[in-house]
């Protein structure tokens, strides 16, 4: 199968999966509890008020029509209105998502770097004390509740040592404004990126300071899986005959490890990236709560607490689309990188 | 001394938490320059381990316990790793059984060559190395443009040619071929054996051919060493071995080969099964299955010694 | 079939099976240390939770048992929180909800995921493909997010949380079971069983399932660990139990406020308990994986 066929097939597969998820969300929000408005106000509310709300939110039209509008809306980026403020949910999501994206990005980098370094160390010294220690690290870190780790970091580095801020994204008045060139304005909402775009190094450094503890927290917890996978993949790869063959040709051990073992061992790691992203998102919700970062995670928790079910629905839809897209990209990337599939 | 390789009392063990397996037991033999030695035996006889041990490629839990491997006067077991590395690939090369798993699937075939050539001859530029790779390809009957292909794009026979190419690219003196044709069908096998013969002539190679296929050794070797349960049972000139095998194991082995010329032949196998190397039999390892077994066989392990001209055998029948 | 029964070997009874199972888990070999450590931790924590009413020195919900926010002392070995409640008692009681949810979630997953996996993989064809599609869609969805939504909509109780968790984890069980079944399905002995007229259900139960069990156990242990962490997380963000009941996650929320004043003890022990519980299962799962890798 050529790469093009593979991509086409994979996209074709994503659509029904996504549709399934979106339908699931739709029905969870409607069929089972009945009317989301009723859920919100419970029994004692004024029936006229409920009717007004229901009408305003477009929840009194036939279910099938709602479903259709829902799907069409998603195609246009319309994720509904908040039940509380009647603002478009998509606007709210896009104002909050960058914080989550930034946190996830840095955490991911930390997780991958730590994971691969430790994992390969362990694989090169199997059954040694170093290996045992690293294996234990992998298990320990994965079992660590991310919010607890966050608290410990805050306690040590924020409160006892006073080195780093314990919450928020940046100092007051230090929010980077991004790039403005005449009429063209680019502000991503990712503070580190915006600071760089605006050429303001101080803002960049400050934003990083605030990001250090949360991304370290989330990153270390996620690194556990990478450590484990890198280690086991590398151990497997070391046993393969092309490694012995490479050594038989007199190649330096470092050449063998980097050119032969690592490249073959790490390739399959890409396939778990989709799963990793899900874990990152779950962890992000907790990390954001712990470090008072106003991201999509805290938004979701907020909206649920306020019983803003349409906003919740919109957020879940957004995440479903995001995850499907990332899974797709990851699979295609793997297919591209593995010459056995590409050619 | 015309001996290119002289192995003395080589012992290799696999040490696991469950047991210690003696895979190669006090093996001694020598290889004359320009000759081909066939190393035959069943699976688990230790022949592959022996091949790897010569170039110190035994991986844990395997350990080379003792012995001497003298290559052109150098004791390979006592030089440092760096020195060993310089010999591997340059003076002694290995060809492996399965060419698919012997090449890195994510690396272009040409790159395997380039890396390898530049490791041993660092002054070679990348372009030069690639040219040499292409030349080797041509030598082996592979299209030059295929240096940019990946291993999986080749057929089995072609891949083995690539493997052989990698082995001869730097014109080594000794090639250890570990079951080079086992993974190939008979037609391709014949081609590869022919190729090996040609290369041997062209580059004056010495070769150790490890295989379980008696037919292959009959064609391509000058001398044959028969291994059983980690021990050398017989070493003799090829013709001599087939014409007049001394060791009962060798005889049984040869008798079990079906002869296409005889009608109505009953298939003769060797009764019993190869020993559990974690718990080997006492005395001669073959004694439980040997038709000529007597008391001494069960107790004392026979030593390899000359019994008839150049033929050596390890059997109490010969004193 | 009756004829075959007559020739079943005598030592295929239940006792040798169980001894065999225990030996395969605890016998000498790789991963043994991890497995034993993990089991020990799980047993101790479970016992602590089960016997909480008997070993807890105070009522965990009673306020002003001692001075508010006092560090560990001889009277209160783990200190007190800002309502003066004894933290030792709260810690002993704190795992009940979390562990109960985890157990329920795993039970639901086993009851749902394993049969679906077996049936779907064995049947093959379009049924298998459609079910796989559904499972794959849910596989990569963040567990906590889904749990938040389900809890938020349907309310908090043990069953709801367990269901929320199960929904996300069933695909893992499904996948593992399915991949094993697909391999085993083609093996000669299954073919042999079919050829002498064995019924599908019988084959699945007697031949396929026993071979799939080891993988299921590994997935279950990871599932346990994840459930503990997710439930604790839900409690932490306030979507868990009513607020004054003892729970490790809730105590962490309280403790956060006290953290600024340097009161480290409120969060430390609850956090450690969550960590230990998840760790116990994690160790078991790693030990088992190592063991199977050795085979």
- pLDDT tens digits for range B248-299: 888 888 887 777 776 666 777 777 888 888 888 888 888 888 888 888 888 8
Chains with 3+ CB–CB pairs under 8 A to C are A
Classify burial at C276, counting beta carbons within 10 Å of its beta carbon; exposed 0-12, middle 13-18, buried 19 or more: middle
Model confidence band, residue A33 (pLDDT cutoffs 50, 70, 90): low
Is residue C48 assigned to a domain? no
Most B CBs within 10 Å: which of A249, A253, A267, as the mutation test of the B interface?
A249
Residue B129 CA: distances (Å) to CA of A327, B115, B119, B125, B126 = 41, 8, 10, 6, 5
Residue B38: the pLDDT is 93
**In the predicted model, what is the mean pLDDT of residues A13-33?**
80
In the numeric block, which tokens belong to residue C287? 């030990």
In-domain check, residue C109: yes
B103-147: pLDDT as tens digits = 999 999 999 999 999 999 999 899 999 999 999 998 888 888 888
Selection from A215, A222, A233 nearest residue A138 by Cα: A222
How confident is the model over B212-234, as pLDDT tens digits?
A: 888 888 888 999 999 999 999 99
d(CA A336, CA B14): 41
Per-residue pLDDT tens digits for C80-120: 877 888 888 888 888 888 999 999 999 999 999 888 888 88
Q: How many angstroms away from the CA of A232 is the closest CA of chain C?
A: 10
Q: Provide, as residue numbers in chain A, all residues whose Cβ is less than 8 Å from the Cβ of C153.
A: 28-29, 32-33, 39, 309, 312
Mutation for A interface: B102, B108, B148, B160, most A CBs within 10 A = B102
| pLDDT, mean of residues A123-132 | 86
pLDDT recorded at residue B235: 92
pLDDT given at position C5: 46
Best mutation site among A245, A264, A336, A342 for testing chain B: the one with the most B CBs within 10 Å? Answer: A245
The closest of B162, B213, B158 to B40, measured between CA atoms, is B213
Residues of A with Cβ-Cβ distance to B106 under 8 angstroms: 263-264, 267, 338-339
Confidence of residue A290 (pLDDT cuts 50, 70, 90): very high
Residue C1 pLDDT? 45
Is the confidence at residue B1, as pLDDT, over 60?
no
Complex ipTM, two decimals?
0.87
Q: Contacts for B111-118 with beta carbons within 8 Å, 24 or more apart?
A: B112/B162, B112/B166, B113/B147, B113/B165, B113/B166, B113/B169, B115/A251, B115/A255, B115/A259, B116/A249, B116/A250, B116/A251, B116/B89, B116/B166, B116/B169, B116/B170, B117/B169, B117/B170
CATH of the domain at C218: 1.10.3720.10
How many CB atoms neighbour CB A335 within 10 A? 18
The whole-angstrom separation of Cα C192 and Cα C209 is 16
How confident is residue C185, by pLDDT bands cut at 50, 70 and 90?
Answer: confident
A155 close contact with C: CB closer than 8 A: yes
Residue pLDDT, tens place only, C246-282: 888 888 888 888 877 777 888 888 899 999 999 999 9
Give the pLDDT confidence score for residue A1 in this predicted structure: 61
Helices (H) and strands (E) in chain A, counts: 16, 2
The pLDDT mean for chain A works out to 87
Q: Which of C38, C129, C145 to mutate to test the interface with A (most CBs of A within 10 A)?
A: C145
> Is residue C230 in a domain?
yes
- 3-class SS at B177? strand
A145, A155, A305: residue with CB nearest C259: A155
- Given a cut of 70, is residue C18 above it in pLDDT? no
B3-15 and B20-32 beta bridge pairing: antiparallel
Rounded to an integer, the average pLDDT of A62-86 is 83
Q: Could you tell me if residue C236 is inside a domain?
A: yes
**Tokens 């006492």 appear where?**
B282
pLDDT band at C295 (very low <50, low <70, confident <90, very high): very low
Cβ within 8 Å, pair B116-A263? no
Highest mean pLDDT among A85-89, A317-321, C150-154: A317-321
Tell me, what DSSP letter sits at residue A295? S
The answer to whether residue C206 is domain-embedded is yes
Residue C105's pLDDT is what?
Answer: 93
Q: Does A317 touch chain C (CB under 8 A)?
A: no
Least Cα distance to C208 among C221, C233, C226, C189 occurs for C189
Question: How many domains, in total, are found in chain C?
Answer: 1
Interchain contact, B101 vs A242, CB within 8 Å:
yes
Contact assessment for residue A83 and residue A36, using Cβ atoms and an 8 Å cutoff: yes
**Average pLDDT estimate for C175-183:** 85
Q: Do A244 and B57 make contact, defined as CB atoms within 8 angstroms? A: yes
Q: Using a CB-CB distance cutoff of 8 angstroms, which residues of chain A are in contact with residue B102?
A: 241-242, 244-245
Structure tokens given for B143: 């299209």
Q: CA separation (Å) from B39 to A177, B95, B174?
A: 75, 14, 14
pLDDT-based confidence at residue C3 (cuts at 50, 70, 90)? very low
Q: Which residues pair with B31 in a beta bridge?
A: B5
Shortest Cα–Cα distance, A267 to chain B (Å)? 9
Q: What is the per-residue pLDDT for A222? A: 94
Query: In the predicted model, what is the mean pLDDT of residues A33-39?
Result: 66
pLDDT over 60 (residue C6): no
Please state, in angstroms and rounded to a whole number, the distance separating the CA atoms of residues A104 and A281. 7
- Supply the pLDDT for residue C68: 75
Q: Using the beta-carbon criterion (under 8 Å), do A339 and B85 form an inter-chain contact? A: no
Q: Per-residue confidence at C15, pLDDT binned at 50, 70, 90?
A: low
Which residue does chain B place closest to A253, by CA atoms?
B85
Is residue A286 within 8 A of residue A301, CB to CB? The reply is: no
CB A199 within 8 A of CB A192: no
Binned at pLDDT 50, 70 and 90, residue C20 comes out as: low
Query: What separation in angstroms does the CA of C160 have from each of C102, C147, C166, C240?
Result: 12, 9, 10, 11
Residue C15 lies in a domain: no
Domain that holds residue C227: 92-294
Residue A98 pLDDT class (50, 70, 90 cuts)? very high
> Average pLDDT for residues C23-51, to the nearest whole number?
84
CB-CB under 8 Å, C252 with A151: yes
CB contact under 8 A, A260 and B104: yes
Cα-flanking dihedrals φ and ψ of residue C113, to 5°?
-65, -45
Contacts of A242 in chain B (CB under 8 A): 101-105
Residue A96 pLDDT greater than 50, yes or no: yes
Q: Which residues of A touch B88 (CB under 8 A)?
A: 247-250
Q: Which of B113-117, C8-12, C64-68 has the highest mean pLDDT?
A: B113-117
Q: Please report the DSSP string for C3-39 in residue order.
A: HHHHTS-GGGSHHHHHHHHHHHHHSSSTTHHHHHHHH
Q: Which two tokens stand for residue A343?
A: 């050619």
Residue C148 has pLDDT above 60, yes or no: yes
The alpha carbon of residue A9 is apart from the nearest alpha carbon of chain B, in Å, by 23
Each residue's pLDDT tens digit, C187-242: 787 777 777 777 766 766 777 777 788 888 889 999 999 999 999 999 888 887 76
- C140 and A327 within 8 Å at the Cβ level: the answer is yes
The pLDDT of residue C25: 66
| Rounded CA separation A1/A9 (Å) | 10
CA distance B48 to B209: 10
CA max distance for chain C? 77
pLDDT at C30 over 90: no
Find chain A residues with C-beta within 8 A of C37's C-beta.
Answer: none
Average of per-residue pLDDT values in chain B: 88
Q: How far is A239 from chain B (nearest CA, A)?
A: 9
User: What is residue B98's predicted lDDT score, i.e. its pLDDT?
Assistant: 86
Neighboring chain A residues of B115 at a CB cutoff of 8 Å? 251, 255, 259
Contact flag A249-B93 (C-beta cutoff 8 Å): yes
- pLDDT, position B95: 92
* CB contacts, 8 Å: B98 with chain A: 241
Q: Each residue of B2-57: pLDDT tens digit?
A: 688 999 999 999 988 778 888 999 999 999 888 999 999 888 888 999 999 999 99
CA–CA gap between residue B114 and residue B116 (Å, rounded) = 5
How far is A26 from A32, CA to CA, in rounded Å?
Answer: 10
Q: Is residue C263 part of a domain?
A: yes
Q: Looking at the partner chain, which of A140, A151, A289 has a beta carbon nearest the beta carbon of C271?
A: A151
A190-237 pLDDT, tens per residue?
888 888 888 888 888 988 999 999 999 999 999 999 999 999 899 889
Whether residue C7 has pLDDT greater than 50: no
**pLDDT tens per residue across span A112-126:** 999 999 998 998 888
Give the residue on A whose Cα is nearest the Cα of C150.
A28
pTM tops 0.90: no
Whether residue C142 lies inside any domain: the answer is yes
Which chain A residues are closer than 8 Å to B152 by Cβ? Answer: 339-340, 343
pLDDT in tens, B145-183: 888 999 999 988 888 889 999 988 898 999 999 998 888
Q: Which DSSP helix (H) or strand (E) runs through B21? A: strand B20-32
DSSP state of B140: T
C139 contacts on A by Cβ (under 8 Å)? 275
Query: Cβ C148–A285 below 8 Å, yes or no?
Result: yes
**Which residues 241-280 in chain C show a CB within 8 A of chain A?**
252, 255-256, 259-260, 262, 264, 267, 271, 274-275, 278-279
């Amino acid at each position: 199968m050529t790469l093009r066929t593979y991509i086409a097939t994979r996209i074709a597969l994503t659509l029904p999966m996504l549709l399934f998820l979106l339908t699931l969300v739709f029905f969870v929000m409607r069929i089972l509890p009945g009317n989301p408005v009723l859920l919100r106000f419970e029994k004692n509310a004024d029936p006229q008020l409920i009717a007004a709300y229901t009408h305003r939110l477009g929840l009194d039209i036939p279910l099938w029509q709602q479903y259709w509008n829902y799907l069409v809306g998603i195609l246009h980026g319309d994720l509904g209105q908040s039940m509380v403020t009647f603002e478009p949910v998509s606007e709210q999501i896009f104002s909050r998502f960058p914080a989550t994206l930034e946190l996830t990005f840095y955490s991911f980098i930390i997780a991958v770097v730590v994971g691969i370094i430790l994992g390969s160390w362990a694989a090169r010294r199997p059954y040694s004390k170093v290996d045992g220690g690293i294996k234990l690290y992998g298990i320990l870190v994965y079992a660590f509740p991310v919010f607890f780790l966050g608290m410990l970091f805050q306690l040590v580095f924020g409160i006892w040592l006073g080195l780093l801020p314990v919450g928020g994204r940046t100092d007051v008045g230090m929010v980077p404004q991004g790039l403005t060139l005449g009429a063209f304005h680019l502000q991503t909402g990712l503070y580190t990126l915006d600071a760089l775009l605006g050429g303001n190094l101080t803002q960049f450094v400050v934003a990083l300071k605030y990001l250090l503890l949360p991304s370290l927290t989330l990153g270390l917890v996620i690194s556990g899986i990478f450590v484990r996978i890198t280690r086991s993949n590398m151990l497997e790869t070391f046993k393969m005959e092309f490694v012995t063959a490479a050594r038989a040709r007199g190649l330096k051990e470092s050449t063998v490890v980097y050119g032969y073992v690592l490249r073959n061992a790490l390739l399959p790691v890409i396939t778990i990236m989709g799963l990793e992203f899900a874990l990152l998102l779950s962890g992000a919700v907790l990390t954001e709560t712990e470090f008072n970062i106003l991201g999509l995670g805290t938004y979701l928790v907020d909206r649920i607490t306020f019983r803003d079910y349409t906003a919740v629905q919109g957020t879940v839809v957004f995440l479903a689309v995001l995850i499907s897209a990332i899974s797709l990209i990851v699979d295609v990337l793997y297919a591209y990188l593995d010459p056995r599939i590409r050619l | 001394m015309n001996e290119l390789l002289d192995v003395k009392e080589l012992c290799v063990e696999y040490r696991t938490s469950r047991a210690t397996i003696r895979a190669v037991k006090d093996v001694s033999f020598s290889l004359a320059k320009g000759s081909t030695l066939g190393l035959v035996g069943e699976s688990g006889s230790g022949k592959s381990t022996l091949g790897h041990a010569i170039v110190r490629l035994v991986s844990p839990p395997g350990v080379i316990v003792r012995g001497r491997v003298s290559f052109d006067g150098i004791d390979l077991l006592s030089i440092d790793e760096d020195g060993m590395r310089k010999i591997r690939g340059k003076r002694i090369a290995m060809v492996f059984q399965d060419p698919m798993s012997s090449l890195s699937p994510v690396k272009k075939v040409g790159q395997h060559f380039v890396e390898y050539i530049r490791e041993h001859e660092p002054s070679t530029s990348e372009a030069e190395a690639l040219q040499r790779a292409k030349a080797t390809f041509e030598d082996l009957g592979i299209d030059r443009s295929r240096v940019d292909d990946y291993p999986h794009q080749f057929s089995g026979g072609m891949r083995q040619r690539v493997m052989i190419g990698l082995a001869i690219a730097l014109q080594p003196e000794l090639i250890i071929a570990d079951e080079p044709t086992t993974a190939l069908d008979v037609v391709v096998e014949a081609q590869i054996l022919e190729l090996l013969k040609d290369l041997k002539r062209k580059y004056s190679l010495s070769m150790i051919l490890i295989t379980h296929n008696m037919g292959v050794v009959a064609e391509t070797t000058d001398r044959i060493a028969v291994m059983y349960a980690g021990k050398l049972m017989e070493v003799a000139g090829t013709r001599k071995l087939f014409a007049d095998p001394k060791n009962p194991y060798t005889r049984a082995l040869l008798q079990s080969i079906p002869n296409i010329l005889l009608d109505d032949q009953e298939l003769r196998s060797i009764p019993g099964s190869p020993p559990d190397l974690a718990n080997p039999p006492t005395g001669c390892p073959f004694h439980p299955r040997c038709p000529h077994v007597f008391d001494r066989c069960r107790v004392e392990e026979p030593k390899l010694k000359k019994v008839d001209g150049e033929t050596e055998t390890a059997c109490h029948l010969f004193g | 079939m009756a004829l075959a029964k007559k020739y079943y070997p005598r030592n295929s009874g239940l006792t040798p099976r169980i001894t065999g199972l225990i030996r395969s888990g605890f016998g000498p070999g790789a991963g043994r240390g991890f497995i034993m450590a993990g089991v020990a931790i799980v047993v101790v924590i479970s016992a602590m939770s089960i016997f909480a009413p008997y070993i807890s020195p105070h009522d965990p919900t009673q306020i002003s048992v001692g001075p508010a926010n006092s560090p560990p002392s001889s009277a209160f070995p783990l200190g007190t929180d800002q309502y003066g409640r004894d933290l030792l008692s709260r810690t002993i009681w704190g795992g009940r909800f979390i562990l109960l949810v985890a157990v329920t979630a795993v039970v639901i997953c086993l009851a749902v995921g394993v049969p679906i996996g077996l049936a779907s993989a064995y049947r093959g064809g379009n049924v298998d493909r459609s079910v796989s599609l559904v499972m794959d869609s849910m596989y990569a969805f963040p567990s906590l997010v889904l749990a938040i939504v389900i809890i938020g909509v349907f309310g908090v109780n043990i069953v709801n949380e367990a269901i929320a968790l199960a929904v996300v984890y069933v695909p893992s069980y499904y996948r593992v079971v399915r991949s094993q079944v697909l391999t085993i399905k083609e093996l000669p002995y299954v073919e042999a069983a079919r050829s002498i007229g064995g019924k599908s259900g019988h084959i699945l139960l007697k031949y396929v399932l026993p071979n799939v069990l080891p993988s299921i156990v590994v997935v279950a242990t990871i599932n346990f660990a994840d459930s503990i962490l997710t439930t604790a997380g839900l409690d932490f963000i306030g979507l868990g139990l009513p607020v004054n009941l003892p729970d490790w996650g809730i105590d962490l929320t309280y403790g956060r406020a006290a953290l600024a004043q340097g009161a480290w003890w409120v969060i430390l022990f609850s956090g450690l308990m969550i960590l230990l519980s998840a760790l116990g299962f994690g160790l078991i799962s790693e030990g088992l994986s190592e063991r199977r890798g050795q085979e």
